[in-house]
Amino acid sequence: MLDAAFFHRWMTVAAAWVERDAQHLTALDSPIGDADHGSNMLRGFKAVVSALQEEHPDTPGAVLMLAGRRLVSTVGGASGPLYGTLLRRVGKALGDAATVDRAALAGALHTGVNAVASLGGAAPGDKTMLDALLPAADGLDTSFEAARAAAEQGALATTPLQARKGRASYLGERSIGHQDPGATSSALLIAALAEVAEEADGTDGTGGQGASGE
């Protein structure tokens, strides 16, 4: 089962990986955006980690709702409200349970991803973060590893697409041939989730039947 510490750890690993990849995310956002995606994500996730350390939310839902609120309040770009909505809605869907299993998280992720789609008005294939998040939610119905692989595939598959939402859409056909920065950071967040699930499987003494719930 996944407790508040698991979700706190997810956000901590995500923040570390955002820091590691910030330059790459910003480089992806230069040809088809305004070269700030890495710095937006870095500012947001640093604030998330500080907030979690200060406030110690004690349920999975409370961890993600706090993280989402912090992203909204610290990230100015399109991605702040979108990721903020994602985490707040996933957290809200998890309710006030002390622990949740992977299936419940998958259900909550579907809810959160749908909220991102209604807020941003994007559909699959529009070359946005949804192209990684939608397959990730479907993958998580099966396993953390399937979610990670599907998000990664989804991010890579944005390269040949023409952007139809966000700043990249202003470029029309010139947006083709570049991987979407938001889909790339979404794949990073899902990879961090899978990493933390794998760690938990190795350490909770259930012989690999812990976090994955399988």
Number of H helices, E strands in the chain: 8, 2
Given the complex with ligand ADP, which of 59 and 85 has the nearer CB atom? 85
Task: Provide the token pair at 24.
Answer: 């790459």
- Given the rule CB under 6 A, which residues bind ligand ADP? 29, 33-34, 36-37, 40, 77-79, 82, 120-122, 128-130, 165-167, 180-183
- Give the CB-nearest residue to ligand ADP: 182
- Given the rule CB under 5 A, which residues bind Mg ion? 29, 33-34, 36-37
Selection from 134, 131, 176 nearest residue 155 by Cα: 131
**Contact partner at residue 38 from ligand ADP, Mg ion, none, CB < 5 to 8 Å by partner kind:** none
Please state, in angstroms and rounded to a whole number, the distance separating the CA atoms of residues 10 and 20.
15
Given the complex with ligand ADP, which of 9 and 43 has the nearer CB atom? 43
Task: Provide the token pair at 100.
Answer: 């949740």
Least gap, CB of 161 to Mg ion (angstroms): 17
Given the complex with ligand ADP, which of 82 and 104 has the nearer CB atom? 82
Task: Provide the token pair at 49.
Answer: 């980690």
* Residue 6: alpha-carbon gap to chain centroid: 15
Least gap, CB of 123 to Mg ion (angstroms): 20
Task: Provide the token pair at 142.
Answer: 């099966």
Least gap, CB of 99 to Mg ion (angstroms): 37
Given the complex with ligand ADP, which of 15 and 82 has the nearer CB atom? 82
To the nearest 10 degrees (0 to 180), the angle between helices 130-140 and 181-203 is: 30
